[in-house]
Amino acid sequence: MQTFRPRVALQWQLARHRTADEPLAEWIPATVPGAVQLDWAAAHGLPDFTVGRNVELWDGLEDFHWTYRSRIDAVPARRPGERMYLRIDGVDYAAEVFVGSEQVGTMRGVQTPLAVDITDRLTPGVELRVRVHPAPKSHDRARDRTQANRTCKPAVSYEWDFHPRLIPLGLWRGAWLEIRPAIHFATLPEVEYRLSDDLKKARGQVNVTLSRPAGPGTRLRWTCSSPAGAVDLLVSVPADAPGPELTVPFALDPVTLWWPHDQGTPALYHNVVELLGPDGQVLDRAEVRTGFRRVRLVMAPDQWKSPTEFPKSRSLPPITFEVNGRALFVKGTNWVCPDIFPGAVTPDRYAEQLRLVREANLTLVRVWGGAIAPPEEFHDLCDELGLLVWQEFPLACNSYPDDPEYLAELDRESRSLIRRLRRHASVVLWCGGNELFNFWSGMTEQSLALRLLNRNCYELDPTRPFLATAPLEGMGHGHYLFRDPGTGAECWSLFQHAHCTAYSEFGVPASPSAETLRRILPPAEVWPPRPGTSWQLHHAFGAWMPSSHLYLEEIEYYFGPSGTLEQLVERGQLLQSAGLQGLFEEVRRQKPVASLALNWCFNEPWPAAANNSLVAWPAEPKPALAAVAQACRPTLASARVPRFSWRPGETFTAELWLLHDGPAPAPGVTIRAWLEIDSRRHPLGEWIAADAPANTNVAGPRVEAVLPPWHEPRFTLHLAASGRPEWDSHYTFIQARAGREEGGRTVEIRAGTTNF
């Protein structure tokens, strides 16, 4: 997705000031894209914020004014008629832009870029300046996320249960000079289409907006190459319309569909759109890719049957994704932000993490509304990898007001985002934001912000589904732990008794490696973990509940006291692995009533000492990532087991299942189940599973065995599919500790800082 225009890189410097007009004294080197804090830290030797309590030294820089400057020593050469544009692809969060003493633009909002023709203002020695405002804050609020309650700046950086308070500011996307042809594409061409009912043909048009109406003799040439590389369409039409807008209708028959990676090939067509001059020379050129697919949110089978009783309410809202006519069971994950400073995330880092998503057999990323909507390269990668994207607007856990000023900002930012992302096949859902219809947000369907977003999506992108928020009724968020210290309930049991249509957030936390912990925690604080130390600042204590996210008492509940950091980490990671394995497989068993399982969360913006993430910062997989990959294989033998810890003499039970989400039938198979206890095999039974139709599970028998006395702390349930080793599964269980407390106890839930 690009144009091919010469760029002139700019060297930027940065100065900090207390008021907008304070004379600027000290200039420091600036990296663009980046953030003012990173430049300031480099220039002034601020210590690594990921270590200990250093992050506190970074606090407050967002309350200053900051000015970027770049001096044009020599005006770049250009050919006759060409224009010089200043392009700034994103400012965090508001700025005025000057060339010399003249203001040429105003920016507000991370998603709204600036491209301004400054040809006539460029003189040797002229200075470009970008004057960045302090971060928006509702100063009548406490020092928490509610300070972001009337801005489109992502709320997460104002402090969250996995994000320290550190609020980035500055040019988070590129800023450079672009040499444009005299007449050029004002925006990237767009391929708009509808598929025929049988999904075999596409009809639509290419929409082009020029910088001005093209003259006689100009032509528009569109070359559309199929995913296999052949030129499918080559269209050349006169471009001299009365206005600057051109449309080229087309029909593709047959069309190769784009599929998410677990259903087929994410086939992308390659479009080259060129504006040709009277003598055939290429005036401007753009490339865009198109994945042809149809997406809908549909009702699960039987869902219309309820409710039955009088007085009668509505049926639940649909949340089953249907792609190209196939109702999917979607396994996915919540994407937060891979770094506190989004301007510091390179395309390689997105690629590294998204490859991990796909390798974990996950198909959807929910780009959570508390964090920033990532830049173009992210969605390009999702298109390529066949990942589905649930894209949220920047609202999360706040009550965003019916205020004209805020609504105008949201209008602008949401339109920018919709226009930028609607070309991506991967994006399958717009969502207003996170948990807005719960008490900690306090919004409702009457909130004008959500009515505005629905309006903008309807107008600019009507064929893509829109949800006001998640969860809606029928959908569930949480729990975020292995065992609730208040009720004593285990996460498996909670889900086995739940009846949600979609589980759009659930998590079990764990620590990163001991090595990482030793890096981020001061040596004196590393052992034992204690509240009030850097452990707490890194979310191991009091992040949400008093015990979260380390849940030291719960680890002790299952395993007894840990002797070393390594032992503690391994135990917590086992709980995370076992927990998520059980949860993903349990939601899959609830298909088709349930059709969506998204764990909270995939990644994290800095190294937490404990967190629900599968991948620790910057890209360190926890063992649970492999467990999730196992649980999310398209087809596997699976067991529903009521709990994690057992005592000798108890009857161990397991319901056997063949889980199958694949688009083709799975042949029947014989599944043997046994327990491996103290290295001895205890057979549980053998089940001849029938053929599984496409995207259909097969429920098997319940097997059971009385547990013998044993010695080792753990034992394993094995399921082996004859001739299909890739479907084999195994589950780890532990021996219940003698004399442990079994009951629940009451725990204070701090509503103010919750992120359910």
Binding residues vs a second copy (CB under 8 A): 296-297, 299, 304-305, 310-318, 435, 437-439, 442, 444-446, 448, 451-452, 454-455, 457-459, 462, 465-469, 471-479, 484, 494-495, 498, 500, 503, 506, 756
C-alpha distances out from residue 182 to 117, 124, 214, 275, 469, Å: 11, 22, 10, 11, 44
**How is the beta sheet containing 245-252 ordered, strand by strand?**
190-195, 202-209, 245-252
261 exposure class (CB count in 10 Å sphere: 0-12, 13-18, 19+): middle
How many residues are listed for the chain in this entry?
756
Q: Which residues face 176 on adjacent strands?
A: 87
* 598 versus 654: smaller Cβ distance to a second copy: 598
CA distance 702 to 687: 10
Minimal distance, residue 436 CB to a second copy, in Å: 8
* 256 versus 469: smaller Cβ distance to a second copy: 469
91: three-class secondary structure by DSSP: strand
For 196, residues 6+ apart whose C-beta sits below 8 A from its C-beta are: 202, 203
Minimal distance, residue 289 CB to a second copy, in Å: 26
CA distance 154 to 168: 10
Write phi, then psi, for 56 (nearest 5 degrees). -65, -25
Minimal distance, residue 455 CB to a second copy, in Å: 4
Minimal distance, residue 411 CB to a second copy, in Å: 11
Chain centroid offset of residue 241 CA? 41
* 452 versus 601: smaller Cβ distance to a second copy: 452
DSSP H or E run through 579: helix 565-589
* 446 versus 651: smaller Cβ distance to a second copy: 446
Q: Which amino acid is at 285?
A: R
Minimal distance, residue 586 CB to a second copy, in Å: 11
Minimal distance, residue 592 CB to a second copy, in Å: 16
Minimal distance, residue 221 CB to a second copy, in Å: 30
* 160 versus 341: smaller Cβ distance to a second copy: 160
Q: Are strands 615-616 and 620-621 parallel, antiparallel or unpaired?
A: antiparallel
* 442 versus 708: smaller Cβ distance to a second copy: 442
Of the candidates 654, 644, 664, which has an alpha carbon nearest to the alpha carbon of residue 735?
644
* 392 versus 435: smaller Cβ distance to a second copy: 435
Q: For the residues of 433-471, what is the DSSP string, one character each?
A: -BSTTSTTT---TT-HHHHHHHHHHHHH-TTS-EESSBS
Pair of tokens at residue 675: 């327990």
Q: Are strands 364-367 and 330-335 parallel, antiparallel or unpaired?
A: parallel
Minimal distance, residue 407 CB to a second copy, in Å: 9
* 34 versus 369: smaller Cβ distance to a second copy: 369
Q: Where are the beta strands (DSSP E) in 181-281?
A: 190-195, 202-209, 219-225, 231-238, 245-252, 269-276
Could you give the angle at the alpha carbon of 10 between the alpha carbons of 9 and 16, nearest 5°?
150
Minimal distance, residue 551 CB to a second copy, in Å: 15
* 21 versus 309: smaller Cβ distance to a second copy: 309
For 194, residues 6+ apart whose C-beta sits below 8 A from its C-beta are: 202, 203, 204, 463
Could you give the angle at the alpha carbon of 457 between the alpha carbons of 451 and 460, nearest 5°?
135
Of the candidates 249, 96, 99, 241, which has an alpha carbon nearest to the alpha carbon of residue 183?
241
Neighbours of 545 (CB within 10 A): 21
Yes or no: say if 478 and 487 are a contact pair by the CB < 8 Å rule. Answer: no
* 467 versus 637: smaller Cβ distance to a second copy: 467
Minimal distance, residue 152 CB to a second copy, in Å: 18
Reading phi first (left if > 0) and then psi (alpha if -120 to 50, else beta), residue 657 is in: beta
Minimal distance, residue 293 CB to a second copy, in Å: 17
* 123 versus 444: smaller Cβ distance to a second copy: 444
Q: For the residues of 284-303, what is the DSSP string, one character each?
A: EEEEEEE----EEEEPPTTG
* 403 versus 686: smaller Cβ distance to a second copy: 403
Minimal distance, residue 753 CB to a second copy, in Å: 16
Minimal distance, residue 406 CB to a second copy, in Å: 14
